[in-house]
């Protein structure tokens, strides 16, 4: 795989639902009301009484390592969305080539490709329904992550939301429901295509993928990662990655090449 592009999206609420460095106090950060973070955000350590930062007293690190409650429900994605054609193959994409061969530039390029693919899928295939048990599992996992933070900061849940997130419990529940549906919308579409194409994650792919995730997201080992997340959650993330790899290969990518005169005209227009 080029990158574990979907892991953060799928597991954001389970790994790090609060922005990097822990929640910002109300009024101290403009984005404190954001209801989800990403697993890729590095956890910054909180200072201890001596003013030094340690892993032992870092609430965000502790919450990120806490295992999700329960097991992720299984479901058939083709029951949730109708895909009666193969329009998902050969998606037309026009974009500028990667700026250079650096990892950053390549990641930005493929992220743009993936975004174009998902945008097209959203337009082609509306999701009919979200599995109730799965939606409950994802929203519950999001809420549990925040409740763990509240406990670690010595606050009841309502105080935590008010002080650190600038919202009340009713607003929080609306945000988590919306965040869960956005995540599941993408998952359902990719899983449905995987079902149509008979794409699966083999046991070897599962082990290799967990090892890659562990390195990327700072776990000591693949076993440590697997201790933090149930197997169905990890498998669906790997399946989503695999399906996007399939769609990238099937897509018709047209790179926009500027002529020297067009580039000069664009530069002149900026001044």
CA–CA distance, 32 with 47 (Å, rounded to integer): 20
Determine what percent of the chain falls in helix, strand and coil, rounding each to the nearest 5.
Answer: 55, 5, 40
In a domain, 104, yes or no: no
In a domain, 121, yes or no: no
- Backbone φ and ψ of 197, nearest 5°: -95, 5
pLDDT digits (tens, 9 = 90+) for 208-245: 999 999 998 889 999 999 998 889 989 999 999 999 99
Residues of the chain with pLDDT under 50: 1, 4, 6, 8-9, 12-57, 59-68
In a domain, 176, yes or no: yes
pLDDT digits (tens, 9 = 90+) for 88-103: 999 999 999 999 999 9
In a domain, 252, yes or no: no
In a domain, 115, yes or no: no
- What residues make up the domain containing 202? 7-25+34-45+55-76+129-237
Q: Which of 151, 141, 242 minimizes the C-alpha distance to 195?
A: 242
In a domain, 150, yes or no: yes
CA–CA distance, 77 with 62 (Å, rounded to integer): 33
- Backbone φ and ψ of 31, nearest 5°: -100, 20
Q: Which of 197, 170, 230 minimizes the C-alpha distance to 11?
A: 230
pLDDT number for residue 71? 82
For all residues of the chain together, what is the average pLDDT?
78
CA–CA distance, 195 with 202 (Å, rounded to integer): 14
In a domain, 257, yes or no: no
CA 221 to chain centre: 21
User: 229 near 67, Cβ under 8 Å?
Assistant: yes
CA–CA distance, 104 with 193 (Å, rounded to integer): 29
pLDDT number for residue 269? 56
The count of domains in the chain is 1
User: 82 near 189, Cβ under 8 Å?
Assistant: no
Task: Record the pTM.
Answer: 0.73
In a domain, 217, yes or no: yes
């Amino acid at each position: 795989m080029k990158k574990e592009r979907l892991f953060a999206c799928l597991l954001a609420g389970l790994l790090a639902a609060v922005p990097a460095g822990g929640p910002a106090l109300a009024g101290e950060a403009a984005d404190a009301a954001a209801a989800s973070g990403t697993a890729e955000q590095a956890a910054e350590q909180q200072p201890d009484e001596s003013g030094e930062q340690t892993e032992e007293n870092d609430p965000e690190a502790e919450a990120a390592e806490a295992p999700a409650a329960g097991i992720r429900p299984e479901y058939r994605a083709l029951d949730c969305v109708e895909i009666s054609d193969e329009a998902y193959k050969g998606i037309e994409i026009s974009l500028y080539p990667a700026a250079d061969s650096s990892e950053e530039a390549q990641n930005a390029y493929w992220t743009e490709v993936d975004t174009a693919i998902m945008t097209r899928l959203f337009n082609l295939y509306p999701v009919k329904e979200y599995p109730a048990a799965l939606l409950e599992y994802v929203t519950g996992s999001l809420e549990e992550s925040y409740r763990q933070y509240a406990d670690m900061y010595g606050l009841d849940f309502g105080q935590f939301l008010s002080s650190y997130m600038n919202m009340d419990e009713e607003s929080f529940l609306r945000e988590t429901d919306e965040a869960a549906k956005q995540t599941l919308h993408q998952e359902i579409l990719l899983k449905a295509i995987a079902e149509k194409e008979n794409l699966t994650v083999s046991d070897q792919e599962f082990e290799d993928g967990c090892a890659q995730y562990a390195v990327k997201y700072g776990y000591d080992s693949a076993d440590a990662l697997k201790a933090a997340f149930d197997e169905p959650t990890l498998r669906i993330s790997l399946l989503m990655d695999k399906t996007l790899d399939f769609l990238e290969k099937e897509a018709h990518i047209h790179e926009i090449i500027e002529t020297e005169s067009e580039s000069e005209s664009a530069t002149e227009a900026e001044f």
